Chain A
Amino acid sequence: MTENNTIKNPIANTEIAPVASTEITHESTLYAEPIGHVGSLTITNSLFTTWVVVFIVFVISIVIKFKSKLIPKGFQNFFEFIIEGAMDLADQVTGDKKITARVFPLAFTIFLFVLISNWLGLLPLGGFGLVEHGEEGLAFIPFIRSGTADINTTLALGLVAVIGSNVFGIVSIGLWKMFNKYVNLKALGEIFTKVKKDPTILISAPIMVFVGILELVGELAKVASLSFRLFGNVFAGEVLLMAMSSIFAYVLPLPFMGLELFVGAIQAFIFAVLTLVYFTIAAQDHDHEEGHEEHKGEHMHA
Protein backbone atom coordinates (compact mmCIF):
# COMPACT_ATOMS: atom_id res chain seq x y z
CA MET A 1 0.00 0.00 0.00
CA THR A 2 0.99 3.59 -0.42
CA GLU A 3 -0.26 5.32 2.69
CA ASN A 4 3.21 6.65 3.62
CA ASN A 5 5.05 6.54 0.34
CA THR A 6 6.16 2.98 1.11
CA ILE A 7 5.48 0.67 -1.80
CA LYS A 8 5.71 -3.01 -1.25
CA ASN A 9 5.52 -5.76 -3.81
CA PRO A 10 2.92 -8.12 -2.33
CA ILE A 11 4.00 -11.10 -4.43
CA ALA A 12 7.71 -11.03 -3.74
CA ASN A 13 7.25 -9.28 -0.38
CA THR A 14 10.19 -6.99 -1.18
CA GLU A 15 10.44 -3.34 -0.45
CA ILE A 16 10.80 -1.10 -3.47
CA ALA A 17 11.28 2.32 -1.85
CA PRO A 18 11.93 2.15 1.85
CA VAL A 19 11.04 5.36 3.60
CA ALA A 20 11.46 5.82 7.31
CA SER A 21 8.17 7.14 8.64
CA THR A 22 5.99 7.23 11.73
CA GLU A 23 2.76 6.89 9.73
CA ILE A 24 0.76 3.71 10.05
CA THR A 25 0.93 1.56 6.97
CA HIS A 26 -1.06 -1.45 5.87
CA GLU A 27 0.20 -3.81 3.25
CA SER A 28 -1.63 -6.58 1.54
CA THR A 29 0.57 -9.60 2.12
CA LEU A 30 0.47 -13.04 0.55
CA TYR A 31 0.39 -14.57 3.99
CA ALA A 32 -1.84 -14.07 7.00
CA GLU A 33 -0.35 -11.68 9.55
CA PRO A 34 0.28 -12.90 13.09
CA ILE A 35 -1.76 -11.22 15.79
CA GLY A 36 -0.68 -13.32 18.76
CA HIS A 37 0.74 -16.59 20.02
CA VAL A 38 -0.64 -19.51 22.00
CA GLY A 39 2.35 -21.61 22.97
CA SER A 40 4.17 -22.46 19.79
CA LEU A 41 1.08 -21.80 17.65
CA THR A 42 1.04 -18.49 15.85
CA ILE A 43 -2.41 -16.96 15.82
CA THR A 44 -2.89 -15.28 12.47
CA ASN A 45 -5.69 -12.91 11.55
CA SER A 46 -6.95 -15.55 9.13
CA LEU A 47 -7.07 -18.13 11.94
CA PHE A 48 -8.94 -15.61 14.08
CA THR A 49 -11.44 -15.07 11.24
CA THR A 50 -11.94 -18.83 11.06
CA TRP A 51 -12.79 -18.84 14.76
CA VAL A 52 -15.36 -16.14 14.03
CA VAL A 53 -16.71 -18.45 11.31
CA VAL A 54 -16.92 -21.28 13.85
CA PHE A 55 -18.79 -18.95 16.22
CA ILE A 56 -21.22 -17.79 13.51
CA VAL A 57 -21.94 -21.36 12.41
CA PHE A 58 -22.38 -22.35 16.07
CA VAL A 59 -24.92 -19.55 16.63
CA ILE A 60 -26.81 -20.44 13.41
CA SER A 61 -26.84 -24.11 14.39
CA ILE A 62 -28.05 -23.37 17.93
CA VAL A 63 -30.84 -21.19 16.56
CA ILE A 64 -31.87 -23.95 14.15
CA LYS A 65 -31.61 -26.64 16.82
CA PHE A 66 -33.82 -24.88 19.34
CA LYS A 67 -36.11 -22.83 17.13
CA SER A 68 -36.97 -25.46 14.54
CA LYS A 69 -40.62 -26.37 14.41
CA LEU A 70 -42.72 -28.71 12.34
CA ILE A 71 -44.34 -25.75 10.64
CA PRO A 72 -41.37 -23.64 9.52
CA LYS A 73 -41.24 -19.86 9.74
CA GLY A 74 -38.79 -17.13 8.83
CA PHE A 75 -35.17 -18.21 9.14
CA GLN A 76 -36.01 -21.92 9.35
CA ASN A 77 -37.97 -21.60 6.12
CA PHE A 78 -35.04 -19.91 4.41
CA PHE A 79 -32.52 -22.46 5.71
CA GLU A 80 -34.72 -25.38 4.66
CA PHE A 81 -35.13 -23.80 1.23
CA ILE A 82 -31.33 -23.53 0.90
CA ILE A 83 -30.78 -27.09 2.11
CA GLU A 84 -33.42 -28.58 -0.20
CA GLY A 85 -32.04 -26.65 -3.18
CA ALA A 86 -28.49 -27.73 -2.33
CA MET A 87 -29.62 -31.36 -1.93
CA ASP A 88 -31.26 -31.33 -5.36
CA LEU A 89 -28.13 -29.85 -6.87
CA ALA A 90 -25.94 -32.41 -5.09
CA ASP A 91 -28.21 -35.16 -6.43
CA GLN A 92 -27.60 -33.91 -9.95
CA VAL A 93 -23.85 -33.93 -9.36
CA THR A 94 -23.59 -37.37 -7.76
CA GLY A 95 -26.46 -39.01 -9.66
CA ASP A 96 -27.03 -41.23 -6.65
CA LYS A 97 -29.24 -40.33 -3.69
CA LYS A 98 -27.32 -42.65 -1.35
CA ILE A 99 -23.99 -40.95 -2.08
CA THR A 100 -25.66 -37.55 -1.77
CA ALA A 101 -27.11 -38.46 1.62
CA ARG A 102 -23.64 -39.45 2.86
CA VAL A 103 -21.55 -36.67 1.32
CA PHE A 104 -23.96 -33.75 1.43
CA PRO A 105 -23.26 -32.73 5.07
CA LEU A 106 -19.53 -32.40 4.34
CA ALA A 107 -20.03 -30.59 1.02
CA PHE A 108 -22.56 -28.22 2.57
CA THR A 109 -20.22 -27.53 5.50
CA ILE A 110 -17.42 -26.72 3.05
CA PHE A 111 -19.74 -24.40 1.16
CA LEU A 112 -20.88 -22.57 4.30
CA PHE A 113 -17.37 -22.44 5.80
CA VAL A 114 -15.79 -21.04 2.63
CA LEU A 115 -18.70 -18.67 1.96
CA ILE A 116 -18.65 -17.11 5.43
CA SER A 117 -14.83 -16.95 5.37
CA ASN A 118 -14.87 -15.21 2.00
CA TRP A 119 -17.55 -12.72 2.99
CA LEU A 120 -16.04 -11.93 6.39
CA GLY A 121 -12.94 -10.69 4.59
CA LEU A 122 -15.09 -8.13 2.79
CA LEU A 123 -16.44 -6.59 5.99
CA PRO A 124 -15.37 -2.96 6.21
CA LEU A 125 -13.70 -3.29 9.62
CA GLY A 126 -10.77 -1.05 8.77
CA GLY A 127 -10.01 0.08 12.32
CA PHE A 128 -10.39 -3.30 13.97
CA GLY A 129 -6.81 -4.52 14.39
CA LEU A 130 -3.37 -3.99 15.89
CA VAL A 131 -0.70 -1.37 15.32
CA GLU A 132 2.78 -2.85 15.60
CA HIS A 133 6.29 -1.63 15.13
CA GLY A 134 7.59 -3.17 11.97
CA GLU A 135 10.81 -2.88 10.05
CA GLU A 136 9.44 0.12 8.19
CA GLY A 137 7.72 1.86 11.06
CA LEU A 138 4.20 1.40 12.40
CA ALA A 139 2.15 -1.25 10.63
CA PHE A 140 -1.56 -1.88 10.92
CA ILE A 141 -2.53 -5.53 11.19
CA PRO A 142 -6.27 -6.13 10.85
CA PHE A 143 -7.86 -8.81 13.01
CA ILE A 144 -10.14 -9.83 10.19
CA ARG A 145 -8.62 -11.27 7.05
CA SER A 146 -10.64 -13.64 4.95
CA GLY A 147 -9.93 -17.16 6.20
CA THR A 148 -9.51 -18.34 2.64
CA ALA A 149 -7.04 -15.56 1.84
CA ASP A 150 -4.47 -17.70 3.65
CA ILE A 151 -3.00 -20.69 1.82
CA ASN A 152 -2.88 -22.63 5.12
CA THR A 153 -6.68 -22.57 5.34
CA THR A 154 -7.27 -23.55 1.73
CA LEU A 155 -4.60 -26.27 1.99
CA ALA A 156 -6.36 -27.63 5.08
CA LEU A 157 -9.69 -27.62 3.24
CA GLY A 158 -8.15 -29.23 0.15
CA LEU A 159 -6.53 -31.93 2.26
CA VAL A 160 -9.80 -32.57 4.09
CA ALA A 161 -11.63 -32.89 0.76
CA VAL A 162 -9.06 -35.16 -0.92
CA ILE A 163 -8.26 -37.34 2.11
CA GLY A 164 -11.98 -37.48 2.89
CA SER A 165 -12.77 -38.65 -0.66
CA ASN A 166 -10.16 -41.42 -0.38
CA VAL A 167 -11.50 -42.56 2.99
CA PHE A 168 -14.99 -42.50 1.47
CA GLY A 169 -13.67 -44.59 -1.43
CA ILE A 170 -12.21 -47.15 0.99
CA VAL A 171 -15.53 -47.32 2.86
CA SER A 172 -17.50 -47.61 -0.38
CA ILE A 173 -15.47 -50.00 -2.55
CA GLY A 174 -12.90 -51.42 -0.14
CA LEU A 175 -9.27 -50.89 0.79
CA TRP A 176 -7.83 -53.33 -1.77
CA LYS A 177 -9.55 -51.69 -4.72
CA MET A 178 -8.58 -48.20 -3.59
CA PHE A 179 -4.98 -49.37 -3.09
CA ASN A 180 -4.94 -50.92 -6.58
CA LYS A 181 -6.17 -47.64 -8.00
CA TYR A 182 -2.79 -46.09 -7.11
CA VAL A 183 -0.44 -49.09 -6.87
CA ASN A 184 -1.86 -51.42 -9.46
CA LEU A 185 -0.65 -54.77 -8.12
CA LYS A 186 -3.55 -56.49 -9.81
CA ALA A 187 -2.32 -55.39 -13.26
CA LEU A 188 1.21 -56.54 -12.38
CA GLY A 189 -0.11 -59.94 -11.26
CA GLU A 190 -2.07 -60.34 -14.48
CA ILE A 191 1.21 -60.26 -16.43
CA PHE A 192 2.02 -63.71 -15.03
CA THR A 193 -1.49 -65.17 -15.13
CA LYS A 194 -2.70 -63.93 -18.52
CA VAL A 195 0.47 -63.59 -20.58
CA LYS A 196 -0.03 -66.91 -22.41
CA LYS A 197 -3.66 -66.16 -23.22
CA ASP A 198 -3.13 -62.50 -24.08
CA PRO A 199 0.50 -61.44 -24.77
CA THR A 200 -0.55 -57.78 -25.19
CA ILE A 201 -0.82 -57.63 -21.43
CA LEU A 202 2.96 -57.20 -21.40
CA ILE A 203 2.29 -53.72 -22.77
CA SER A 204 -1.05 -52.89 -21.15
CA ALA A 205 -0.13 -53.93 -17.59
CA PRO A 206 2.85 -51.54 -17.21
CA ILE A 207 0.65 -48.79 -18.67
CA MET A 208 -1.98 -49.57 -16.02
CA VAL A 209 0.72 -49.39 -13.31
CA PHE A 210 1.84 -46.03 -14.68
CA VAL A 211 -1.78 -44.83 -14.76
CA GLY A 212 -1.99 -45.75 -11.07
CA ILE A 213 1.04 -43.56 -10.34
CA LEU A 214 -0.57 -40.76 -12.35
CA GLU A 215 -3.71 -41.17 -10.22
CA LEU A 216 -1.56 -40.69 -7.12
CA VAL A 217 -0.03 -37.55 -8.60
CA GLY A 218 -3.55 -36.50 -9.57
CA GLU A 219 -4.64 -36.63 -5.94
CA LEU A 220 -1.84 -34.22 -5.03
CA ALA A 221 -2.85 -32.05 -7.97
CA LYS A 222 -6.41 -32.02 -6.63
CA VAL A 223 -5.17 -30.60 -3.32
CA ALA A 224 -3.08 -28.01 -5.11
CA SER A 225 -5.82 -27.01 -7.55
CA LEU A 226 -8.51 -26.75 -4.87
CA SER A 227 -6.38 -24.76 -2.46
CA PHE A 228 -4.64 -22.43 -4.93
CA ARG A 229 -7.79 -21.68 -6.91
CA LEU A 230 -9.63 -20.57 -3.80
CA PHE A 231 -6.68 -18.75 -2.29
CA GLY A 232 -5.84 -17.02 -5.57
CA ASN A 233 -9.38 -15.79 -6.17
CA VAL A 234 -9.96 -14.49 -2.67
CA PHE A 235 -6.53 -12.92 -2.29
CA ALA A 236 -6.80 -11.32 -5.72
CA GLY A 237 -10.17 -9.90 -4.68
CA GLU A 238 -8.69 -8.37 -1.56
CA VAL A 239 -5.80 -6.85 -3.51
CA LEU A 240 -8.25 -5.52 -6.09
CA LEU A 241 -10.39 -3.88 -3.41
CA MET A 242 -7.34 -2.28 -1.79
CA ALA A 243 -6.15 -1.01 -5.17
CA MET A 244 -9.57 0.48 -5.89
CA SER A 245 -9.66 2.06 -2.42
CA SER A 246 -6.31 3.73 -3.07
CA ILE A 247 -7.65 5.21 -6.32
CA PHE A 248 -10.98 6.51 -4.98
CA ALA A 249 -11.75 5.45 -1.44
CA TYR A 250 -15.29 4.51 -0.39
CA VAL A 251 -16.87 4.93 -3.85
CA LEU A 252 -14.83 2.99 -6.39
CA PRO A 253 -14.58 -0.20 -4.30
CA LEU A 254 -18.37 -0.49 -4.00
CA PRO A 255 -19.07 -2.21 -7.36
CA PHE A 256 -16.04 -4.39 -6.77
CA MET A 257 -17.40 -5.31 -3.32
CA GLY A 258 -20.51 -6.57 -5.09
CA LEU A 259 -18.32 -8.48 -7.52
CA GLU A 260 -16.31 -9.97 -4.65
CA LEU A 261 -19.51 -11.06 -2.88
CA PHE A 262 -20.41 -12.91 -6.07
CA VAL A 263 -16.90 -14.34 -6.47
CA GLY A 264 -16.95 -15.46 -2.82
CA ALA A 265 -20.23 -17.35 -3.36
CA ILE A 266 -19.06 -18.85 -6.66
CA GLN A 267 -15.75 -20.01 -5.18
CA ALA A 268 -17.55 -21.63 -2.23
CA PHE A 269 -19.92 -23.32 -4.67
CA ILE A 270 -17.06 -24.57 -6.89
CA PHE A 271 -15.14 -25.97 -3.92
CA ALA A 272 -18.24 -27.79 -2.62
CA VAL A 273 -19.20 -29.18 -6.04
CA LEU A 274 -15.65 -30.37 -6.74
CA THR A 275 -15.61 -32.09 -3.36
CA LEU A 276 -18.86 -33.83 -4.29
CA VAL A 277 -17.36 -34.88 -7.62
CA TYR A 278 -14.20 -36.27 -5.96
CA PHE A 279 -16.30 -38.23 -3.46
CA THR A 280 -18.53 -39.58 -6.22
CA ILE A 281 -15.55 -40.67 -8.32
CA ALA A 282 -13.93 -42.31 -5.29
CA ALA A 283 -17.11 -44.30 -4.58
CA GLN A 284 -17.21 -45.81 -8.07
CA ASP A 285 -15.80 -49.28 -8.63
CA HIS A 286 -14.08 -49.21 -12.03
CA ASP A 287 -13.43 -52.96 -12.05
CA HIS A 288 -17.13 -53.59 -11.52
CA GLU A 289 -18.00 -51.26 -14.36
CA GLU A 290 -15.38 -52.89 -16.63
CA GLY A 291 -16.87 -56.28 -15.74
CA HIS A 292 -20.27 -54.98 -16.76
CA GLU A 293 -18.85 -53.66 -20.01
CA GLU A 294 -17.26 -57.06 -20.73
CA HIS A 295 -20.52 -58.84 -19.98
CA LYS A 296 -22.33 -56.45 -22.29
CA GLY A 297 -19.76 -57.18 -25.01
CA GLU A 298 -20.19 -60.93 -24.56
CA HIS A 299 -23.95 -60.58 -24.78
CA MET A 300 -23.60 -58.52 -27.93
CA HIS A 301 -21.38 -61.21 -29.46
CA ALA A 302 -23.83 -63.93 -28.42
Chain B
Amino acid sequence: MDSFISTFHIDLKIIIAQAINFGIVFAVLYFLALKPLKKIMAERTGIIEKGIADAKENAALVANTQKEYEATISKAREEAHAIFQAGKADAEVRKAEMIRMAQDEVNRMVDQGKKNLEAEKIKMVDEAKKEIVSLVVSATEKLLADQADISTTEKTIKNIKKA
Protein backbone atom coordinates (compact mmCIF):
# COMPACT_ATOMS: atom_id res chain seq x y z
CA MET B 1 0.00 0.00 0.00
CA ASP B 2 2.86 2.36 0.89
CA SER B 3 4.58 1.69 -2.42
CA PHE B 4 1.29 2.28 -4.20
CA ILE B 5 0.87 5.60 -2.43
CA SER B 6 4.44 6.64 -3.08
CA THR B 7 4.38 5.52 -6.73
CA PHE B 8 1.28 7.55 -7.52
CA HIS B 9 2.14 10.32 -5.03
CA ILE B 10 -1.28 10.03 -3.44
CA ASP B 11 -1.74 12.99 -1.14
CA LEU B 12 -4.87 13.36 0.98
CA LYS B 13 -4.49 17.17 1.00
CA ILE B 14 -4.44 17.28 -2.79
CA ILE B 15 -7.44 14.93 -2.93
CA ILE B 16 -9.33 17.27 -0.59
CA ALA B 17 -8.16 20.30 -2.59
CA GLN B 18 -9.36 18.70 -5.82
CA ALA B 19 -12.68 17.77 -4.21
CA ILE B 20 -13.05 21.40 -3.08
CA ASN B 21 -12.21 22.56 -6.62
CA PHE B 22 -14.89 20.26 -7.96
CA GLY B 23 -17.32 21.58 -5.35
CA ILE B 24 -16.57 25.15 -6.46
CA VAL B 25 -17.10 24.19 -10.10
CA PHE B 26 -20.38 22.51 -9.17
CA ALA B 27 -21.62 25.50 -7.16
CA VAL B 28 -20.58 28.02 -9.81
CA LEU B 29 -22.06 26.01 -12.66
CA TYR B 30 -25.25 25.23 -10.78
CA PHE B 31 -26.02 28.69 -9.40
CA LEU B 32 -24.67 30.84 -12.23
CA ALA B 33 -25.43 28.75 -15.29
CA LEU B 34 -27.70 25.75 -14.91
CA LYS B 35 -30.30 27.24 -12.55
CA PRO B 36 -30.79 30.57 -14.41
CA LEU B 37 -30.76 28.77 -17.74
CA LYS B 38 -33.30 26.22 -16.50
CA LYS B 39 -35.48 29.10 -15.30
CA ILE B 40 -35.23 30.87 -18.67
CA MET B 41 -35.94 27.62 -20.53
CA ALA B 42 -38.95 26.91 -18.31
CA GLU B 43 -40.16 30.49 -18.82
CA ARG B 44 -39.75 30.12 -22.58
CA THR B 45 -41.51 26.77 -22.56
CA GLY B 46 -44.34 28.39 -20.60
CA ILE B 47 -44.60 31.24 -23.10
CA ILE B 48 -44.58 28.81 -26.03
CA GLU B 49 -47.19 26.58 -24.39
CA LYS B 50 -49.31 29.64 -23.59
CA GLY B 51 -48.90 30.83 -27.18
CA ILE B 52 -50.02 27.45 -28.49
CA ALA B 53 -52.97 27.40 -26.08
CA ASP B 54 -53.89 30.98 -27.07
CA ALA B 55 -53.62 30.09 -30.75
CA LYS B 56 -55.92 27.10 -30.21
CA GLU B 57 -58.32 29.28 -28.23
CA ASN B 58 -58.21 31.94 -30.94
CA ALA B 59 -58.82 29.34 -33.63
CA ALA B 60 -61.84 28.08 -31.67
CA LEU B 61 -62.98 31.68 -31.20
CA VAL B 62 -62.61 32.37 -34.93
CA ALA B 63 -64.56 29.20 -35.77
CA ASN B 64 -67.23 30.20 -33.25
CA THR B 65 -67.36 33.74 -34.61
CA GLN B 66 -67.63 32.35 -38.13
CA LYS B 67 -70.55 30.20 -37.04
CA GLU B 68 -72.17 33.16 -35.29
CA TYR B 69 -71.56 35.32 -38.36
CA GLU B 70 -73.09 32.74 -40.63
CA ALA B 71 -76.06 32.31 -38.28
CA THR B 72 -76.53 36.10 -38.08
CA ILE B 73 -76.25 36.47 -41.83
CA SER B 74 -78.72 33.65 -42.35
CA LYS B 75 -81.11 35.16 -39.81
CA ALA B 76 -80.73 38.59 -41.40
CA ARG B 77 -81.45 37.11 -44.81
CA GLU B 78 -84.54 35.40 -43.48
CA GLU B 79 -85.67 38.63 -41.79
CA ALA B 80 -84.95 40.63 -44.92
CA HIS B 81 -86.90 38.14 -46.96
CA ALA B 82 -89.79 38.32 -44.51
CA ILE B 83 -89.67 42.13 -44.54
CA PHE B 84 -89.54 42.09 -48.33
CA GLN B 85 -92.50 39.76 -48.53
CA ALA B 86 -94.44 41.87 -46.03
CA GLY B 87 -93.51 45.03 -47.94
CA LYS B 88 -94.50 43.39 -51.18
CA ALA B 89 -97.86 42.38 -49.75
CA ASP B 90 -98.35 45.84 -48.27
CA ALA B 91 -97.43 47.41 -51.60
CA GLU B 92 -99.90 45.14 -53.36
CA VAL B 93 -102.62 46.25 -50.95
CA ARG B 94 -101.70 49.89 -51.37
CA LYS B 95 -101.48 49.49 -55.10
CA ALA B 96 -104.95 47.97 -55.19
CA GLU B 97 -106.28 50.71 -52.95
CA MET B 98 -104.67 53.42 -55.04
CA ILE B 99 -106.01 51.84 -58.20
CA ARG B 100 -109.44 51.73 -56.61
CA MET B 101 -109.13 55.33 -55.43
CA ALA B 102 -107.96 56.39 -58.88
CA GLN B 103 -110.82 54.47 -60.40
CA ASP B 104 -113.23 56.19 -58.04
CA GLU B 105 -111.73 59.58 -58.87
CA VAL B 106 -111.95 58.86 -62.55
CA ASN B 107 -115.54 57.71 -62.12
CA ARG B 108 -116.29 60.76 -60.07
CA MET B 109 -114.69 63.03 -62.64
CA VAL B 110 -116.49 61.22 -65.44
CA ASP B 111 -119.78 61.57 -63.55
CA GLN B 112 -119.04 65.20 -62.88
CA GLY B 113 -118.15 65.68 -66.52
CA LYS B 114 -121.33 63.96 -67.55
CA LYS B 115 -123.32 66.13 -65.18
CA ASN B 116 -121.59 69.25 -66.47
CA LEU B 117 -122.13 68.13 -70.01
CA GLU B 118 -125.79 67.46 -69.29
CA ALA B 119 -126.19 70.81 -67.62
CA GLU B 120 -124.40 72.51 -70.48
CA LYS B 121 -126.53 70.59 -72.94
CA ILE B 122 -129.71 71.62 -71.18
CA LYS B 123 -128.47 75.16 -70.97
CA MET B 124 -127.57 75.14 -74.66
CA VAL B 125 -130.88 73.57 -75.61
CA ASP B 126 -132.67 76.20 -73.55
CA GLU B 127 -130.60 78.88 -75.12
CA ALA B 128 -131.13 77.35 -78.57
CA LYS B 129 -134.82 77.13 -77.89
CA LYS B 130 -134.90 80.73 -76.83
CA GLU B 131 -132.80 81.65 -79.87
CA ILE B 132 -135.06 79.60 -82.18
CA VAL B 133 -138.16 81.08 -80.62
CA SER B 134 -136.72 84.51 -81.00
CA LEU B 135 -135.68 83.73 -84.59
CA VAL B 136 -139.06 82.15 -85.35
CA VAL B 137 -140.81 85.10 -83.83
CA SER B 138 -138.66 87.49 -85.77
CA ALA B 139 -139.14 85.53 -88.96
CA THR B 140 -142.78 85.11 -88.42
CA GLU B 141 -143.12 88.69 -87.58
CA LYS B 142 -141.36 89.56 -90.81
CA LEU B 143 -143.43 87.11 -92.84
CA LEU B 144 -146.68 87.93 -91.32
CA ALA B 145 -146.18 91.57 -90.86
CA ASP B 146 -148.20 92.50 -93.80
CA GLN B 147 -150.52 89.58 -94.16
CA ALA B 148 -151.80 88.66 -90.84
CA ASP B 149 -153.53 90.69 -88.32
CA ILE B 150 -152.23 91.30 -85.03
CA SER B 151 -154.64 89.01 -83.23
CA THR B 152 -153.83 86.08 -85.38
CA THR B 153 -150.26 86.77 -84.90
CA GLU B 154 -150.66 86.91 -81.18
CA LYS B 155 -152.56 83.63 -81.21
CA THR B 156 -149.90 82.04 -83.27
CA ILE B 157 -147.24 83.34 -81.00
CA LYS B 158 -149.07 81.96 -78.00
CA ASN B 159 -149.43 78.55 -79.64
CA ILE B 160 -145.82 78.51 -80.51
CA LYS B 161 -144.95 79.40 -76.95
CA LYS B 162 -147.21 76.64 -75.63
CA ALA B 163 -145.58 74.19 -78.00
Residues in A lying within 8 Å of B, measured CB to CB: 13, 30-32, 40-42, 44, 47, 50-51, 53-54, 57-58, 60-62, 64-65, 68-70, 76, 79-80, 83-84, 105-106, 108-110, 112-113, 147, 150-153, 155-157, 159-160
Complex contacts, A42 vs chain B, CB 8 Å: 11, 13-14
CA gap between A110 and B23 in the complex, in Å: 10
Q: Is B47 an interface residue (CB 8 A)?
A: yes
CB pair B21–A68 under 8 Å, yes or no, is no
Closest CB-CB distance, A224 to chain B, in whole Å? 11
CB pair A61–B43 under 8 Å, yes or no, is no
CB pair A70–B47 under 8 Å, yes or no, is yes
Which residue of the partner chain A has the closest CB to B32? A61
Known: A64-B33, A64-B37. A44 touches B14 (CB 8 A): yes
Closest CB-CB distance, B42 to chain A, in whole Å? 11
CB pair B15–A155 under 8 Å, yes or no, is yes
Q: Is B55 an interface residue (CB 8 A)?
A: no
Chain B count of residues within 8 A CB distance of the other chain: 31
CB pair A105–B43 under 8 Å, yes or no, is no
CB pair B44–A41 under 8 Å, yes or no, is no
Which residue of the partner chain A has the closest CB to B20? A156
CB pair B28–A152 under 8 Å, yes or no, is no
CA gap between A244 and B7 in the complex, in Å: 25
CB pair B33–A65 under 8 Å, yes or no, is yes
Known: A47-B14, A70-B44. A83 touches B34 (CB 8 A): yes
Which residue of the partner chain B has the closest CB to A39? B13
CA gap between A276 and B10 in the complex, in Å: 26
CA gap between A113 and B26 in the complex, in Å: 9
With A32-B9, A108-B29 given, name 13 new contacts (CB 8 A): A32-B14, A41-B14, A42-B14, A47-B17, A57-B25, A62-B32, A64-B37, A65-B33, A68-B36, A83-B34, A153-B18, A155-B18, A157-B22
CB pair B25–A159 under 8 Å, yes or no, is no
Which residue of the partner chain A has the closest CB to B7? A30
Question: Which residues of chain B (1-58) have a CB below 8 Å from chain A?
Answer: 7-11, 13-19, 21-26, 28-30, 32-34, 36-37, 40-41, 43-44, 47
CB pair B37–A79 under 8 Å, yes or no, is yes
CA gap between A195 and B113 in the complex, in Å: 141
CA gap between A31 and B10 in the complex, in Å: 8
Residues in B lying within 8 Å of A, measured CB to CB: 7-11, 13-19, 21-26, 28-30, 32-34, 36-37, 40-41, 43-44, 47
Complex contacts, B28 vs chain A, CB 8 Å: 54, 57-58, 61
CA gap between A42 and B16 in the complex, in Å: 12
Complex contacts, B34 vs chain A, CB 8 Å: 83, 105, 108
CA gap between A39 and B8 in the complex, in Å: 22
Complex contacts, B30 vs chain A, CB 8 Å: 105, 109
Known: A108-B34, A112-B29. A54 touches B24 (CB 8 A): yes
CA gap between A113 and B33 in the complex, in Å: 14
CB pair B41–A113 under 8 Å, yes or no, is no
CA gap between A97 and B28 in the complex, in Å: 23
Known: A70-B40, A156-B15. A30 touches B8 (CB 8 A): yes
CB pair B9–A113 under 8 Å, yes or no, is no
CA gap between A32 and B9 in the complex, in Å: 8
Can you report 29 A-B residue pairs in the complex whose CB atoms are below 8 A from each other?
A: A30-B9, A31-B8, A40-B13, A42-B11, A42-B14, A47-B17, A50-B21, A51-B21, A54-B24, A54-B28, A57-B29, A61-B33, A64-B36, A83-B37, A105-B29, A105-B34, A108-B34, A109-B25, A109-B26, A112-B25, A112-B29, A150-B18, A152-B10, A153-B18, A155-B15, A156-B15, A156-B19, A160-B19, A160-B23
Complex contacts, B25 vs chain A, CB 8 Å: 53-54, 57, 109, 112-113
Which residue of the partner chain A has the closest CB to B35? A105
Closest CB-CB distance, A207 to chain B, in whole Å? 30
CB pair B21–A41 under 8 Å, yes or no, is no
Which residue of the partner chain A has the closest CB to B27? A109
Closest CB-CB distance, B29 to chain A, in whole Å? 5
CB pair A151–B10 under 8 Å, yes or no, is yes
CB pair A152–B9 under 8 Å, yes or no, is yes
Closest CB-CB distance, A55 to chain B, in whole Å? 10
Complex contacts, B15 vs chain A, CB 8 Å: 152, 155-156, 159
Closest CB-CB distance, B8 to chain A, in whole Å? 4
